[in-house]
Structure 1
Amino acid sequence: MKKSNQFMNLPIISIQDGTEVGSVKSLVVNSQQGTVDFLTVEHEDWQISVRAVPFKKIVGVGEFAVTIENRSSIFDLTEIPIANELVQKKISITGAKLIDRKGQFIGEATEFFIDEENGLILGVAISMQSKEVVLSSEQVITYGRDLLVVKEEAELKFFDHAEQLLQSEKTEATEADPVKENQYKLLTGRTTTKDIFSKSGVLLFPNGTQLKKEDIVTAQEEGPSVLAELTMNVVG
């Protein structure tokens, strides 16, 4: 887990060349997914174009540098429309005001914490009137440009230390795994008796599909309603 400010100005090193190919200028937040999807790159030779490296192209984030395989991992933003769109939204998180869904003021975000393996935002540090606390990203409903909307104040669960975010994440993963394993056992090898569609209307499993484990994972990622529909329409 890294603080957002621990990324700033880090050299970006190409493993293939063994050279510095720029430095981290900013983090590009995907407000819909709650992730950091890109790092914008600063280089003295790039005065006009803005370039970025997708988080999934990062090999590692260390104390002294960010490493990528080679220079081809860095793209001009004009080549990645979604990156350009996210940059224009200017979601910074730090400095944003937090309100709950009923409009009550909670505090101000002073920092946020990122899983350096996948870019997932784990939580936010908040300055409140009398104390500094940490809030899990699970409590965040909306990441806006100037505001974060969170669950109702009565439902909020604050941590005293950022390290507790990792403990919470591990606990949730441990609790969820047995459920998923049971779903795999229940559905793998069975055959669908009707077409199963995603929430957006895309055909996932045609009638007569013999389900594999990866199919169950796909249904789980679509959410409870799709998984329930699948569970009720299989034989074998």
Structure 2
Amino acid sequence: MKKSKDVLNLPVMAITEGDLIGKAHSLLINPNNGTIDYLLLEGEKWYLEKYTLAFSDVSAIGHNAVTTEKKANIQLVSQVENAVKLLESHVPVLGSRIMTSDGLLIGKVTEIFFDEHTGEIKGCELTAEGESEPAGIIPVAKIITYGQKYLIVNEDANIALTSDLQEQEDTTPVQPTPAKVQTATENQTADKDDETEDPLKIFGEKQREYLIGKKVSKTIIDSNGNIVAAEGTVITEEVIEQAMRVDKYVELTMFVK
């Protein structure tokens, strides 16, 4: 397990060439997958275009440097389409304010914890408004949405904090096998209860209610170059359904005013 401060500002070294090729400037996060997809690198001259290193090409994150196999793994940002898209969507996570699915602002993200091998985010540190010391870590299971300005979490996230993600993973109890097979009626009842209490569904409904009537702040285009919603379009149920059909719903939620 690593955290953002274990990476940021570290020099990046190419093993084959034995050469320092930049410094880790920031993390590019994929909000759909909850992963760190790229490291954004800063060269010796700050005014030149930045470079990017895919997280999958990171060999190791050491105490003194981040290593990658060869210089060829480093590319200009403008040459990596996926990196450009992540920069345009601008979901920093670090520094984002944290809001529960029932609309309670509980603080901000002051640290990100992730798997050093896969880049998968495992949790986010919560520091309450007006406090200097963190209250604890929100496990990824309690995170619903990584947004441009807000991290949306379950209603009980602030009482499910942990100080050790690894310890929590190691001690998560295994659910026992049921003593009997449920009947069809019992299954239907259980499904109904699960549906009622599903925080993701509740948030989805609230998010739709919030979007209806808002205006699109940036023209959204699908993968074929077709306009899904032009800038200034008033969001309706039809606009939302169209965005979902072409996998642009997340982008729609990011660019509203």
- Fold-level similarity (TM above 0.5): yes
**2:6 corresponds to which residue?**
6
Give the residue type in structure 2 aligned to 1:55. F
**Which residue of the partner structure matches residue 214 of structure 1?**
none
- The equivalent residue for 1:75 is 75
Identify the residue that residue 88 of structure 1 maps to in structure 2: 88
CA 1:3–1:155: 2 relative to 1, 3 Å: closer
Name the structure with the higher strand share: 1
Match of 1:132 among 103, 120, 135: 135
Report how far residue 90 of structure 1 moved: 2.1
Q: What is aligned with 1:104?
A: 104
Alignment of 1:18-57 (within 5 A): 18-44=18-44, 47-57=47-57
Question: Structure 1 residues 15, 6: closer, same or farther in 2, change over 3 A?
Answer: same
Measured after TM superposition, the shift of residue 171 of structure 1 is 4.8
SS at match of 1:87: helix
Question: What is the rounded CA distance, in whole Å, between the counterparts of 1:43 and 1:7 in structure 2?
Answer: 16
Contact 1:99 1:149 in 2 (8 A): yes
Unaligned 5+ runs, structure 2: 178-257
Q: Deviations over 1:7-37 (max 9, x none)?
A: 1111111100111011101110111111110
Cα shift at 1:155? 8.5
Q: In structure 1, give the amino acid aligned to 2:150.
A: L
> Greater shift after overlay, 18-27 or 121-130?
121-130
Q: How many residues align?
A: 173
The 3-state SS of whatever aligns with 2:118 is coil
User: For 1:99 and 1:13, how far apart are their aligned partners in 2?
Assistant: 38
2:152 aligned with 1:149 = yes
- 1:168-179 aligned at under 5 Å gives the runs 168-171=168-171, 175=174
Decide whether aligned partners of structure 1 residues 155 and 48 sit closer, same or farther in structure 2, where only a CA change above 3 A counts: closer
Amino acid at match of 1:140: I
**Matched residue of 2:44: which SS?**
coil
SS in 2 for 1:8: coil
CA contact 1:31–1:142 (8 Å) conserved in 2: yes
Displacement of 1:5: 1.8
Give the 3 Å change call, closer, same or farther, for CA 175–18 of structure 1 in structure 2: farther
1:165 matched to 2:165? The reply is: yes
AA matched with 1:60: A
Q: Is the 8 Å Cα contact of residues 104 and 153 (structure 1) preserved in structure 2?
A: no
How far does residue 41 in structure 1 lie from its aligned partner after superposition? 1.0
Alignment partners' CA distance in 2, 1:48 and 1:9: 17
Secondary structure at 2:102's aligned position in 1? coil
Gaps of 5+ in 1: 179-236
2:38 is paired with a residue whose SS is strand
SS in structure 2 opposite 1:158? coil
Q: TM-score, normalised by structure 1?
A: 0.67
Cα distance in 1 for partners of 2:157, 2:85 equals 35
TM-score of the superposed pair, with normalisation by structure 2: 0.62
Matched residue type, 1:115:
D
Further displaced range: 128-137 or 145-154: 128-137
Aligned to 1:113: 113
Residue identity matched to 2:125: A
Shift, 1:49, TM fit = 2.6
Identity of aligned residues (%): 30
